[in-house]
Amino acid sequence: MPVSARRARVRALAKVNLGLKVLHKRPDGFHELRTVFQTISLGDTLELEYTPGGRPRIEATPEIPNNLVVRAAEAVFEALRLRGHLKAALTKRVPMGGGLGGGSSDAAAVLLALPVLAGKVLPVSRLLEIGAGLGSDVPFFLLGGTAAALGRGTELYPLPDGRRQHGLLVAPGVHVSTPEAYKALGRGLTSGASSNIINSFQAFVWDLGGLQNCPQKPPVFENDFESVVFDLYPRLKSIKRTLLKQGASYAMMSGSGSALFGVFESRDAVQAARAKWGEAALAVHTVSRSQYQALWWRSLAPHMDGKVWPPRSRYA
């Protein structure tokens, strides 16, 4: 008797960087980073349909070059030696190329959901390994909430959930080349300022709990890329300045850009500021780790065995 298809509709949330420091270039070609990731309410939607049995097949729409959804699915198929047919339909809402991690989150969504639909188990260590191989931001989306990230961004340390913060996200549609941004920073294989950067990062993380509970308090961290990207794209600097003038308690570029976000003291303040931006701005709020996991548990509830993390399949 043929096995019926198993379906799930999941959301792949975006992230912002609550500051980002670049120390130096590593021997492996990546850069040594210090950052804090935070999930936000904006997200893509991914509809998955997995039918067990038969030769391995993956169909994904829309067709995107170097599609991380397909690459993530191929990695899971290989790791679990799956036989079956996967259909994946992606609806994009996270602006591409904005430093918001949309593609990485899509990939992580497949890593979390496909083993559940397939009735298999991937250990956390293997999930993280596969995620890191797909992209530096992918492991974070296997965790969610707030997390300090070291190395090239794959070494993660969960931070306590803070109060919900409301923000305005401005995606100007400017494409910032990440290699160009790194080149402009001019970080070599060693950096004499590394100790100072590490100390400032530690101070920021220690103070983060107070920052989350008192959004009016200015941050003590910053995004290194702003100094060079704003020179290359003055419009982005102007956007940050406008957000601050509108009453944002702080504003920052996410990743290497080009999206910027401002944090306001209330949802009403966000809506008042948004009215002046039109379609270029989106109202968002932070999503804690507990909320992130609950979102996944609801999405995969028909296929899950208890509320554990990562989600576990009832078919296993």
Find the catalytic residue in 21, 25, 44, 137: 137
- Give the three-state DSSP class for 228: helix
Catalytic residue among 15, 21, 25, 240: 15
Distances (CA, A) of 79 to 82, 114, 129: 8, 12, 11
Cα separation values, 17 from 57, 108, 155, 245, Å: 36, 18, 15, 21
How far apart, in Å, are the Cα atoms of 145 and each of 60, 83, 103, 241?
28, 33, 18, 27
| Rounded Cα gap, residues 220 and 226, in angstroms | 15
CB atoms closer than 10 angstroms to residue 235: 10
User: Nearest 5°: CA angle at 10, between 148 and 51?
Assistant: 125
Output the DSSP codes for 16-73. EEEEEEEEEE-TTSSEEEEEEEEEEEEEEEEEEEEEESSS-EEEEES--TT-HHHHHH
State the Rg of the chain over Cα: 20
307 as an active site residue: the answer is no
Helix (H, G, I), strand (E, B) or coil at 8: strand
Is 217 a known active-site residue?
no
Active site residues: 15, 137
